[in-house]
Amino acid sequence: MTDAAALSSAMEDYLEAILNIAERSGIVRVTDIASRLGITKASVAQAIANLKELGLVKQERYGPIELTQRGREIASKVQQRHLMLKRFLIEVLGVDPKIAERDACLIEHAVSPQTMEKLMSFLESLQKTPGATEEGKEQGTAMPIKAKPLSDLGIGEKGRVTRITAKGSIGRRILEMGVTPGSELSIVGIAPLGDPIEVMIKGYRLSLRKEEASYIMVEVL
Amino acid sequence: MKAKQVAKDEQKLVLALIGNPNSGKTTIFNNLTGARQHVGNWPGVTVEKKEGELLWEGRTIQVVDLPGIYGFGVHSEDAAIARDYILLEKPDVVINIVDATNLVRNLYLTLQLLEMGANVVIALNMYDELRAKGADVDTARLSELLSTPVIPTVATRGQGMKEIISQALEAAKAKGRSPLRIDYGREIEAEISDIERYLSSCPKLAEKFVPRWLAIRILEGDEDLLRVIGGFCDLDEIKTRREAALNRLESIFGEEIESLIANRRYGFIESVAKEVIRRYQATEDQASISDKIDRIVTNRYLGIPIFLLTMWMVFQFTFKLGDPLTGLIEGLFERLGELMGAWLEGLGAPKLLSSLLVDGVINGVGSVLVFVPNIFLLFLAISILEDSGYMARAAYIMDRFMHAFGLHGKSFIPLLLGFGCNVPAIMATRTLESKRDRLITILIIPLMSCSARLPIYVLFASAFFSSHQGLVTFSLYLLGIILAILMGVIFKSFLFKGESSHFLMELPPYRMPTLKSTFIHMWERGSHFIRKAGTIIFMVTVLIWVLANLPIGVEYASQESALGRIGSFIAPIFKPAGFSSWEAAVALLFGILAKEVVVSTLGVVYGVEESGLREAISQNWTPLSAYAFMVMSLIYIPCIATIAVIKGETNSWVWAALAVSYSLILGWLVAVIVYQGGLMLGLG
């Protein structure tokens, strides 16, 4: 969370928007971000330049915008936070989904980082309380508790897959190899040079780069 | 295609083998066909096609080995070939090899085959390993649940092969299996039926394909499949329906449809697995031995040293053991040439004819065969590495390093072998699954300074840089590596722009390689080289001989010969690089045959023996132009054997032509930069 907290909330919004667009259509262009956030292309271009300097996105001249591994990790966390707030509003307070979506954004921006952090840990503890998310469970959408990218896990840690955030051929390949939502896995090893990692899943050993692992959201067990 | 049509008319039964990588598919193929196999390429692609024949009770059965894949989900050449073959060529029986120790993931492909309506027989392979783990499979129950025959096999020991064949023959009689139906849940089923209904209304489509399966694949986003059914249906209508379906599903689930479908399939498989796998012993001996090996081999500190040691051993095995054999073959052909020459002279044959036979034909055959020992030994080593499971670890260990240059962990071994000889190195790229990774690796291998280039460096370095020979030679090797990295990045960003490369690979348990598959693999590669590359190498060798002897009566390779004239014609091109003599140009032309020939050609054109060569060179060159020439020799055009093998491996002249043209331009450019840069620094 430290990296995410250090970024301005506007920058976080950009990262989240890039991730959302990437998940939806695969290719992210300045125009897409501008129309999603409802701002001018010029300000998007400026923001992308800043993010590039921070090493969070990469873009070749006139090419599509891509998140770096670090960028994707931060974006996933921001997205996760947003999702958690939204679900809290919908599932616990019973707010209308459309209003919840808008309010989640407003809350994220209005409150101080400290309040945000406290609120998050409160929501997390709330979810551990039995009964709190009954409604969510009935819909088959139990809130992912502390979901984080697989690339953040260390040797020996176990997790359950909650979501695959990659679209297209990488996403399909990940699924095909048996990394489907709900399946359990554990980190068996990390290559001598720090990447790729080795994972035990469905009774076999799968090796994958941290880059691919950052598309796999897991709930730590 | 034609041949297959004929075969079908004659009622020759066709069995297709399919399975995950590491499932033992190749071993089963070898067991079924023995030596009666033929290796080629699938039309228009780089993927290898293996076919063979099986004699069974007086009948000839054709066996086709399909590429090893995990499923049809990812668009790759391999998956498309397997899919189209089953869909369009309709083999009588599809034998699906399933790794019994890894049942869940392997059945994912099986399920898709069954959904397609393929006539499947399951070979439950590595059954002994499963037993050793203290478990077994209720095959009768599995067969019932999937309504498909299931035969336990141990391919490495040939167990279950007869049963597979007789079961396949049974299955072939009962044509028209009804496809497996998996329940994808109410919402998804509704969308499947919508598209299925539309597809069923397309004339003739339902006769050839299973509409439900097509509908599922369309929802999963198999764009390529749309082309296959384009002749039957209105594609725009399908696309509109698909878009609508995807929108509806996403608003319900908020998740990707691919993910939902994969999840349902795996859910189905897991419930099947739970029912059929029986564990009667809690021991996991096999796994723990593999674990123990892995703990050492991929260890943080030991992993890299062990890898480097292994590479050193492969290198030594291939070249140190192979080079004496190569020398033997060279000697043999030299002796044969001499004998032939003497015999022809005795007969009073014209000198030209004798030279054609000796310098052209015998020399040509010899230049093909000299590669054979290295290739055989290399593939012996490689198939041991692959079959044992170490190859996957090697890629795992080196991937971080290679990925920094945009390459794959598996590119390391071929590139390293390039220092020995580019020809087997290019053949070793077969282990790379992605087309992009493989082609980039093939294209940059020629920049690895092979051992045949060493004699050129030795000659020039000793003539001009006698006190710094080692340093000069080393600088050329280093230059090659740097250029390879550079070109790799360039190819990646221009030729394969946007094509993603990923690293998601199974690390199979360590297994003992079997003698039989190792030798079949070795034989197959070696003979493949002789057939594919042999003719090209032979023909170019003869062509160069002809050019060096035309017009009739001219002295071999002199300035007046056709080759000499070509040399004189192109020589001015090299003026900016500091060597514009026709001798240098002719030497480079001959170097296309094999790079070490540059040295002997210089001897011929300067009209001196090998001992006088250094003297002759130091009179005609400056240190700077000599260095530029070495740089040119390093980079320009790969030798003819390398070109031929690039053509053979990629199944296309385009890639071979690209390798030739880029290296020629790059070589000239770098040589010019070196020379002009040197002049500017006052080194002239």
Alpha carbons B621 and A139: distance in angstroms, whole number: 83
Range from A84-88, A118-122, A135-139, B642-646 carrying the lowest mean pLDDT: A135-139
Q: Tell me the pLDDT tens digit for each residue of B113-153.
A: 999 999 999 999 999 999 988 889 999 999 999 999 999 99
Number of H helices, E strands in chain A: 10, 8
> A168 pLDDT exceeds 60?
yes
> B9 pLDDT exceeds 70?
no
Residue found by looking up tokens 């004496």 in the block? B324
Q: Which residue of A has its CA nearest to B262?
A: A175
User: Where do the domains of chain A lie, and which CATH numbers do they carry?
Assistant: 1-141 (1.10.10.10), 147-220 (2.30.30.90)
**Token code pair at residue B570:** 């192109």
Model pLDDT, residue B284? 52
CATH architecture of B2-173: 3-Layer(aba) Sandwich (3.40)
**What's the pLDDT band for B269 if we cut at 50, 70, 90?**
very high
CB contact under 8 A, A177 and B70: yes
Range from A128-137, B229-238, B433-442 carrying the lowest mean pLDDT: A128-137
Mean pLDDT rounded to a whole number for chain A: 80
Model pLDDT, residue B2? 45
B-chain CB neighbours of A180 within 8 Å are 259, 262-263, 266
Q: What are phi and psi of B83, to 5 degrees?
A: -60, -50
Pick from B105, B298, B300: CB nearest A178:
B105
Closest chain A C-alpha to B508 CA, distance in angstroms: 7
A193 close to B (CB below 8 A): yes
Q: Tell me the pLDDT tens digit for each residue of B480-512.
A: 999 999 999 899 888 887 666 788 889 999 988
> A128 pLDDT exceeds 60?
no
Three-state secondary-structure class, residue B660: helix
Distances (CA, A) of B528 to B115, B411, B518: 37, 21, 15
Q: pTM to 2 decimals?
A: 0.78
Cα atoms in the Cβ-side hemisphere of radius 13 Å centred on A146:
15
> B458 pLDDT exceeds 80?
yes
Cα atoms in the Cβ-side hemisphere of radius 13 Å centred on A106:
7
- Per DSSP (E only), the strands in B100-227 are 120-125, 135-137, 150-152
Range from A26-30, B111-115, B337-341 carrying the lowest mean pLDDT: A26-30
Mean pLDDT of B392-416: 90
Alpha carbons B493 and B485: distance in angstroms, whole number: 13
Encode A96-143 in three state secondary structure: CHHHHHHHHHHHHHHCCHHHHHHHHHHHHHHHHCCCCCHHHHHCCCCC
Closest chain B C-alpha to A22 CA, distance in angstroms: 13
**What's the pLDDT band for B450 if we cut at 50, 70, 90?**
confident
Q: Is the peptide bond before A181 cis (omega within 30 degrees of 0)?
A: no
**What's the pLDDT band for B282 if we cut at 50, 70, 90?**
low
**What's the pLDDT band for A110 if we cut at 50, 70, 90?**
confident
**What's the pLDDT band for B607 if we cut at 50, 70, 90?**
confident
Mean pLDDT of B325-344: 89
Closest chain A C-alpha to B646 CA, distance in angstroms: 28
Beta-carbon contacts of A170 under 8 Å, excluding residues fewer than 6 positions away, are: A212, A215, B500, B502
Say if CB B624 and CB B408 are below 8 A apart.
Answer: no
A-chain CB neighbours of B506 within 8 Å are 177, 204-207
Q: What are phi and psi of A121, to 5 degrees?
A: -70, -30
Q: Tell me the pLDDT tens digit for each residue of B74-115.
A: 777 888 889 999 988 889 999 999 999 999 999 999 999 999
The C-alpha R_g of chain A, in whole angstroms, comes to 18
Q: Is the peptide bond before B551 cis (omega within 30 degrees of 0)?
A: yes
Q: Which residue of B has its CA nearest to A26?
A: B498
Alpha carbons B655 and B659: distance in angstroms, whole number: 6
Looking at domain B186-255, its CATH class is mainly alpha
Amino acid at B573: I
Distances (CA, A) of B401 to A67, B395, B404, B580: 21, 10, 6, 41
Q: How would you classify residue B44: left for phi > 0, otherwise alpha for psi between -120 and 50, otherwise beta?
A: left
> Which ipTM value was assigned to this complex?
0.83
Alpha carbons B45 and B582: distance in angstroms, whole number: 41
Mean pLDDT rounded to a whole number for chain B: 87
> A209 pLDDT exceeds 80?
yes
Say if CB A66 and CB A137 are below 8 A apart.
Answer: no
A174 close to B (CB below 8 A): yes
> B389 pLDDT exceeds 80?
yes
Please choose, from the candidates A130, A158, A135, A23, the residue with its C-alpha nearest in 3D space to the C-alpha of residue A79: A23
Model pLDDT, residue B175? 65
Chain centroid to Cα B152, Å, comes to: 31
Pick from B70, B400, B500: CB nearest A195:
B400
**What's the pLDDT band for A136 if we cut at 50, 70, 90?**
very low
Model pLDDT, residue A145? 53
Q: Which residue of A has its CA nearest to B296?
A: A192
**Token code pair at residue B212:** 């439900």
The sign one gets for the Cα dihedral B108, B111, B113, B115 is: negative
Q: Is A182 exposed, middle or buried (0-12, 13-18, 19+ CB in 10 A)?
A: exposed
Closest chain A C-alpha to B124 CA, distance in angstroms: 17
> A143 pLDDT exceeds 60?
no
Say if CB B627 and CB B456 are below 8 A apart.
Answer: no
CB contact under 8 A, A169 and B500: yes
CB contact under 8 A, B503 and A178: no
Q: What are phi and psi of A158, to 5 degrees?
A: -115, 150
Q: Tell me the pLDDT tens digit for each residue of B349-388.
A: 888 888 888 877 887 788 778 878 888 888 898 889 888 9
A26 close to B (CB below 8 A): no
> How many A/B residue pairs have CB atoms within 8 Å?
127
Model pLDDT, residue B354? 84
A-chain CB neighbours of B255 within 8 Å are 163, 181
CB contact under 8 A, A171 and B256: yes
Model pLDDT, residue B8? 46
**What's the pLDDT band for B283 if we cut at 50, 70, 90?**
low
Model pLDDT, residue B684? 66
CA dihedral of residues A36, A42, A45, A49 (deg, nearest 10): -140
Model pLDDT, residue A138? 39
Beta strands B120-125 and B150-152, pairing class: parallel
A-chain CB neighbours of B221 within 8 Å are 172
Chain centroid to Cα B296, Å, comes to: 29
Say if CB A33 and CB A177 are below 8 A apart.
Answer: no
**What's the pLDDT band for B46 if we cut at 50, 70, 90?**
low
A93 close to B (CB below 8 A): no
A116 close to B (CB below 8 A): no
> B401 pLDDT exceeds 80?
yes
Mean pLDDT of B231-253: 86
**What's the pLDDT band for A5 if we cut at 50, 70, 90?**
very low
Q: How would you classify residue B160: left for phi > 0, otherwise alpha for psi between -120 and 50, otherwise beta?
A: left
Query: What does the domain layout of chain B look like in residue ranges?
Result: 2-173, 186-255
